[in-house]
A and B are shown apart, each in its own frame.
Chain A
Amino acid sequence: MPLVLDEQYSSWARREHALRFGMWTFLASEILLFGGLFTLYAGYRTMYPAAFEEAIRHNTVAYGTVNTYILLTSSFTVALTVWAVRHRRARWAPWLLLATALQGMAFLVLKGFEYREHIKEGALPGPFYHWAELPTFGANRFYTLYWVATGLHALHVTAGIGVLLWMMVRAARRAYTAERHVMLEMGTLYWHLVDVVWIFLWPLLYLS
């Protein structure tokens, strides 16, 4: 479909700036949304340092780490999409987007396996918690936050996969050109944010 400049913008550059800047402001609100959870984490960790440490030690480092590498790589491939479109290799774009979406799915599948383990051992949030190994309030707090934080993150991953697949269809129809691809940039920004959140969740939930 032909791209018509919306009447409120005086130039294409203006429109591009507005859309990109609008996306950043939206991401700022996302940062604060996750920020609330990080605040709770900080508060409860200050309250129950020992229990948190124990609980972290019982989380499977492998799951978190593999997922970290997956998300970092997906960030790379989605950044390459922008590079490809800018350098007149637009035919690569749908494939790169597909690769990114598949990595997102792989992340969710691994997360699912991990959840299954937690359910099996009873490391569940709130009143469902019945893990005999760590029967403390602190560990309960940790796992409640763990489920809420990773759950919210997984929701964002799912939404991100949707965005990626949508962009894949658009890219396959050559909607993004070297001159006009601000919508693609916006979509990739969202995916990167999902990655950035995980960059912080990983050490907080698995390492230290």
Chain B
Amino acid sequence: MAKRHISGKAYVLTYVALLVLATLTLVLSWVFKRSGLGGGAASLAVAIGIAAVKAFLVLWFFMHLAEQRFANRLVVLVSVTLLGILIALTATDVATRHTFPPAPRPTPSAGFYER
């Protein structure tokens, strides 16, 4: 429990890093859009990756996980792991459907039943 408190300097540095990373996300998304890759897997992965780093900074410094007990970190670790499992297994289901239309059948057009 007697760990040192996070210093004022660390707060400022974290804040600056967050601003830089947010700007970086913005710039990169613009670059991706210009190169025609916007909305693609690569662009999404980069954006989520940077967001994860930002979230880590907030958790570690602003939320003081750095100075707290391991148990508190474990809580975050477990919940994020389970969330990852939920998202991953749900998304793979949608991505690997063969027997059924990958997306639900759209409403049939007006002339559909007349054929």
Partners in one complex: yes
B86 at the interface (CB under 8 A from A): yes
Contacts of A36 on B, CB cut-off 8 Å?
86
Contacts of B11 on A, CB cut-off 8 Å?
76, 79-80, 83
Which residues in window 1-20 of B have CB below 8 A to A?
A: 1, 5-6, 8, 11, 14-15, 18-19
Q: Given A31-B79, A57-B39, A199-B51, A76 and B15 touching (CB < 8 A)? A: yes
Q: Give the A-binding residues of B (Cβ under 8 A).
A: 1, 5-6, 8, 11, 14-15, 18-19, 22, 25-26, 29, 32-33, 38-40, 43-44, 46-48, 50-51, 54-55, 58-59, 61-64, 68-69, 71-72, 75-76, 78-80, 82-83, 86-87, 90-91, 93-95, 102-103, 106
A9 at the interface (CB under 8 A from B): no
Contact of B69 with A57 in the complex, beta carbons under 8 Å: no
- Can you sample 10 A-B contacts with CB below 8 Å? A20-B72, A24-B75, A36-B86, A43-B93, A56-B39, A72-B19, A73-B15, A75-B18, A200-B51, A208-B47
The answer for the CA separation of A38 and B91 in the assembled complex, in Å, is 11
The answer for the CA separation of A189 and B32 in the assembled complex, in Å, is 34
Contact of A208 with B32 in the complex, beta carbons under 8 Å: yes
Contact of A207 with B55 in the complex, beta carbons under 8 Å: no
A110 at the interface (CB under 8 A from B): no
Q: Which residue of A lies closest to B32 (CB)?
A: A208
How many residue pairs link A and B with beta carbons under 8 A? The number is 142
Contacts of B82 on A, CB cut-off 8 Å?
32
Cβ contact of A43, chosen from B32, B55, B71, B94, cutoff 8 A: B94
A47 at the interface (CB under 8 A from B): yes
Among A35, A46, A80, A204: residue with most chain B CB under 10 A: A46
Contact of B75 with A38 in the complex, beta carbons under 8 Å: no
Cβ contact of A24, chosen from B5, B62, B76, cutoff 8 A: B76
Contacts of B78 on A, CB cut-off 8 Å?
28
* Chain A interface category by residue count: 35 or more
Contacts of A188 on B, CB cut-off 8 Å?
62-63
The answer for the CA separation of A68 and B50 in the assembled complex, in Å, is 14
Chain A window 20-36, contacts with chain B (Cβ cutoff 8 Å), 1 for yes, 0 for no: 11001101110110011
Which A-B residue pairs are the 3 nearest by beta carbons? A53-B39, A203-B47, A28-B79
Contacts of B71 on A, CB cut-off 8 Å?
21
Cβ contact of B83, chosen from A27, A31, A73, A76, cutoff 8 A: A31
Cβ contact of A185, chosen from B50, B55, B64, cutoff 8 A: B64
Contact of B87 with A39 in the complex, beta carbons under 8 Å: yes
